[in-house]
Structures are given as C-alpha cells and as structure tokens.
Amino acid sequence: MIRKIEPLLSVCVITYNHEGYIRANLNSILNQECDFDFEIVIGEDCSTDATRQICEEYAKNNPRIVLLPSDKNMGMIPNFLRTIDACKGKYIAFCEGDDYWIHPLKMQKQVDFLEKNSEYGLTYGIAKLFIQSENEFRGSKGTKEAERYVNLLCDFQIHTSTVMLCKSLLAACNNEFNEFAKDALFYDYFYWLWFSRNSKIKYINEEFSVWRILSESGCHIKESRKSLKAALSGLEMRIYFILKYPIDNEDDQKKIWERIREEFLLILDTNYYIGSDDKSKSLSYRLGNSILLPLKMLKKIKRN
C-alpha cells in the first residue's frame, strides 16, 4: 500500500460482492468538486465476484485510491475497523460499496463547515432510499432532529453515506466501541450516538447520497436469527449509552425507555417462536433475557 497524496479528507469504502455497484460508487466520489486533496481507502473483503478486480483497476489508474485487499473474508466490522484505521485524512467520510453520492459538492460543503466550526465532530445530510429489487426510489433518511442525542437514541435517523466526521475524535470512539461491541453486527449507530454525546453534530438539509436497499445486506437481513440479533443489538446500544451517558431531563428519559420497551416487546412478538415452540426456550426469549438485555436492564423498561 503506497500513500500517493497527503489528503485533507479520506473516504472510507468497505465493499464485498458489489460488482454491480462499485463502479457507480467510486465514480460518484471521484467526480466530486472540491479544492482540497482527498483519498479513497477501499476495504475489499475477499469478494467472490469481480469486485476486487474492479477495485484493482480503479486503484491502478487513480492515485487517490488506496486499496486494502484481503486474502480471506473478515466480516463487516473487522473490515471496517482496518479500513478506517488506514484513513489518513483530518476528516473521514463514508460510502459503502453499494451506495453512491449524488451531490457534486457534498465533500466541499461538509469540509467547509467542519473547518469553520471546530466544536462540531460530525455532519450529515439526506440519503434517498433506492429499492434495488423494485428498481425505484422510496423515501429518504436524515433529519434535523438527529442533532439531539435524545432524539437519536429514539431512532436510527442518520445514514452512513451522508456522514463526515473528525478523525481527531475517532480514537476515543473506537476504544469505547471495541470495549462494547466485540460481537456487533453493525458499527454506524454506535458511532453516531457517541459523536452526538461527545461533540456537536450538524444536519445539512440537502440530498447527499443514495442508499441502495439490497435483498440481503448488512442493514437488510432476511434470515430470522440474524435479523433478531441485529434488532436486539440496536436496543443494547441504546441502553449502553443511556447508562453510560445519563440524561438529566426526566421527560426525555421516560420517552426513551418507553420507546425501548415498545421495540423490545415488538421484537419478542415478531420472533416469538424462532428456534422453539416453547417461549422459554425460543431464541428471542434467550437472547432477550440472557445475552443482550439482561434482567437488570429489563427492569428499567418494565411498565409500572
């Protein structure tokens, strides 16, 4: 791996089996209009299709690209951590291999804001949702309300492909992430919660990217056991932050615990019989009570 430029910004791209999408991804980043140097750091996780060959082609022809190949499949979290660790820019943006950017000044607008506002650690915007199987756009993700730690605890309101953050805060965030999430299925929600609690975050009311919803991806899991574990993992992250970074306002605290309780009961209802017809032996019951949401936490969300 040869560092060919000294970037102000690094774009972190993790990819696996994205041969049909990675060209659109990389082109959308390379076509950005900006007045600073940037690099694209690609974590290619030993794809079984032509993704690696396409990435090698782009890296060979463009000095901005740093390719991190792998001889074995590492999985999303290890691949992400090694890729973000290789990023050398003052700022880091994200665009996973099946997503792409649609605003030509996305990088410029976010860098300009962070350069002028040192108290902010993260900026984000709007992602348009594209349903690949139906070949149509449907809705968007990104709202000003997510600037508040309390609101972000209640919902996943930030999409990864719109985010830019300050690398100076990353070491502290990663230390906490590694301590908490050894078996996490995803990283982004933890990052946004941490940054919203430890710095200011800024919403920019513009469409920055397209979030491509595939039939099977890290954020859209059809297999019941994985889907259940992902849902419970999101609740566990919320509880972790509430306990470590308490909220003083009693009404806000009540609102968050009520939301967690509702989601947990919905998960149990939806996944009632996964693994067993006996509730006490079912996967949802065992995960909810002994692995991800221990009894001492459940007491906090039990309706009085």
The secondary element (H helix, E strand) that includes residue 108 is helix 106-116
If you search the block for the tokens 């990217």, which residue do you land on? 209
Model's pTM, two decimal places? 0.86
Residues in the chain: 304
Domains and CATH numbers, the chain: 9-213 (3.90.550.10), 224-301 (no CATH)
**Per-block mean pLDDT, blocks of 10 residues, the chain (304 long):** 75 97 98 98 98 98 95 93 96 98 98 98 97 93 94 91 97 89 77 96 98 69 64 83 90 88 75 49 47 45 41
When computed from its CA atoms, the radius of gyration of the chain, rounded to whole angstroms, is: 20
Please name which of 32, 220, 41 lies closest in space to residue 130, comparing C-alpha atoms: 220
Summarize pLDDT for 72-124 with one digit per residue, the tens: 999 999 999 999 999 999 999 999 999 999 999 999 999 999 999 999 999 99
| Vertex 154 angle, CA 148 and 158, to 5° | 65
| Coil, strand or helix at 143 | coil
Summarize pLDDT for 243-271 with one digit per residue, the tens: 889 898 999 988 888 888 888 777 766 65
DSSP notation for 66-99:
EEE--SS---HHHHHHHHHHT--SSEEEE--TT-
CB atoms within 10 A of CB 72: 7
